[in-house]
Structure 1
Amino acid sequence: MYGALAGLLAFGLLWGAGFAWFFRDALRPPAMPPIADGIVALTGGQGRIEASLRLLAQGRGRQLLISGVAPHATTGSVASRLQPQGGGDGIPAALWRHVTLGRHATSTIGNADETAEWAHANAIHSLIVVTAGYHIRRATMEIRRTVPGIVLYPYPIQPPALQAPLRVASVRLMATEYDKWIMASLGLTRDMDGYGR
């Protein structure tokens, strides 16, 4: 009995230490990435598409994939839903010609598969990955597994949900994402259909 309790305590301490590292890492501000062949924005949270369009406008990549949009989405409908502060407004119409909408992904695994197909079709050898800070490690891991030869530059953004990171809802979100990252690190997510974004 004491051995089991000691094991649970050790597991709890290990999980807690890892979670503290993950929490802090997820909140770090993004550094400006090097210029790459392409940019991918993984949908599923606010601010990701806006950030990727800003990077495209700055010339950080020559093409942009927005992975995981609705099946019938168009660039016009995507632009109309962007946040006014730095989203569709101010983005030249010509820039949208460099944007591809990925309409099939419904999970991080799906994002990785969609990104791989697009990267192969467009001779993409280096890629900036735009997603939330709490999602960036798992996303880059899954993309790297799917396209092992590609160079990835993570660009984590801070969504509105984490503007108050110590709220109960925010901590719960981070804990859920930490568990998903552990599962992905152990290689247990590829066969788990629809395993979140």
Structure 2
Amino acid sequence: MNSQPDQDPPDASPAPPRGWLRATIVAALAMVFVGAGVGFVGFLSQLRAVEVSPASKADGIVVLTGGSSRVSDAMELLAGGYGKRLLISGVHPTNAASDISRSLPDNQFLLGCCVDLDRSAVNTRSNAAETRRWARERGFKSLIVVTSNYHMPRAIVELSHAMPDVELIPFSVIGDKWRDEPWWTSGATLRLLLSEYAKYVAAEVRVRLADLGLEMSPEFGEQPAGSHKPKAAATAAN
């Protein structure tokens, strides 16, 4: 009886254990969550808790609509001589100057002489594009930026990218809800902050890529305006 020679099985690399793969995925996710948490804390550290008068005057003032009392605070700065003119950026196309005038009875005289309305901007990025056009037309080299405290970091990212040669002086508006209760005790405020943080990170990434010559999307300012209904006398989606 002929005996068959033993045949060695072909070499095969052992499959990595599933436990190792699972640990790698968990570690990667943990790093992402830790990084996001640290970034969120850094974002929160930029938010002012009280309103502070601008440290200096500027050539002009721009207010980005979308939050309560932003426009009225900007008008008070204009009345106080902090800027020569005010741009209200993000006014709904259907709103007239008279609509804003009725909501600001104490400063109606300023609307006729020193206030410009931008009805083209529909978001923060197009706010920056329209503000750049307005500032260049008037030769302004410094601007006081008025918007809500939670919106200010993203607004500064967009505005400084659009106008690197213009000095930006932030004036953060503090809403009543922010004053009345800590943000961590309100689910609605926490969701707002998380949403704004995500938008802020996206804006930072897009701006950095744009600096490298990589545009992620066309200018939002080219999109048709008027798709957002007004929430008040002068509002836009930010």
TM above 0.5: yes
Q: Is 1:37–2:59 an aligned residue pair?
A: yes
Which of 155, 159, 165 aligns to 1:139? It is 155
Kindly indicate whether the alpha-carbon contact (under 8 Å) linking 1:109 and 1:190 is maintained by their aligned counterparts in 2. no
**Alpha-carbon distance between aligned partners in 2 of 1:130 and 1:66, rounded to the nearest angstrom:** 10
Q: How far apart are the structure 1 equivalents of 2:91 and 2:117?
A: 7
C-alpha separation between the residues in 2 aligned to 1:29 and 1:186? 29
The alpha carbon displacement at 1:169 in A equals 0.5
SS in 1 for 2:37: helix
| Equivalent residues, number | 190
Greater shift, 169-178 or 88-97, is seen at: 88-97
Letter paired with 1:77 = D
- State the Cα deviation string for residues 2-37 of structure 1 (Å, max 9, x = none): 111111112112211221232243243233211000
Q: Percent identity?
A: 33
Distance 1:143 1:94, change over 3 A: closer
Among 56, 61, 78, the alignment partner of 2:100 is 78
Partner of 1:191: 217
Superposed counterparts of 1:12-161, under 5 Å: 12-33=33-54, 34-80=56-102, 82=103, 88-94=104-110, 96-161=112-177
Q: CA deviation at 1:146?
A: 1.1
- Work out the CA distance in 2 between the residues paired with 1:74 and 1:40: 18
- Whether the aligned pair in 1 keeps the contact of 2:143 and 2:168 (CA below 8 Å) is yes
- Paired with 1:79 and 1:99, the residues of 2 have a C-alpha distance of 11
User: Are the counterparts in 1 of residues 46 and 153 from structure 2 also a CA contact under 8 Å?
Assistant: no
Please say if residues 61 and 146 of structure 2, whose CA atoms lie closer than 8 Å, have aligned partners that are also in contact.
yes
RMSD: 2.0
Alpha-carbon distance in 2 for matches of 1:3, 1:185? 28
Question: Which segments of 5 or more consecutive residues in structure 2 lack a partner in the other structure?
Answer: 1-21, 208-214, 224-236
Q: Please tell me whether Structure 1 or Structure 2 has the larger radius of gyration of its CA atoms.
A: 2
| C-alpha contact (below 8 Å) 2:60/2:83 kept by paired residues | yes
Letter in 1 for 2:66: G
Matched residue, 2:29: 8
TM-score by length of 2: 0.74
Q: Distance in 2 between matches of 1:132 and 1:156?
A: 5
Is the deviation greater in 159-168 or in 64-73? 159-168
Distance in 2 of aligned mates of 1:47 and 1:96: 20
CA distance in 1, matches of 2:63, 2:198: 22
Change (3 A) 1:47 1:180: same
Q: How far, CA to CA, are the matches of 1:44 and 1:119 in structure 2? A: 21
Moved more, 44-53 or 156-165: 156-165
Is the 8 Å Cα contact of residues 124 and 158 (structure 2) preserved in structure 1? Answer: yes
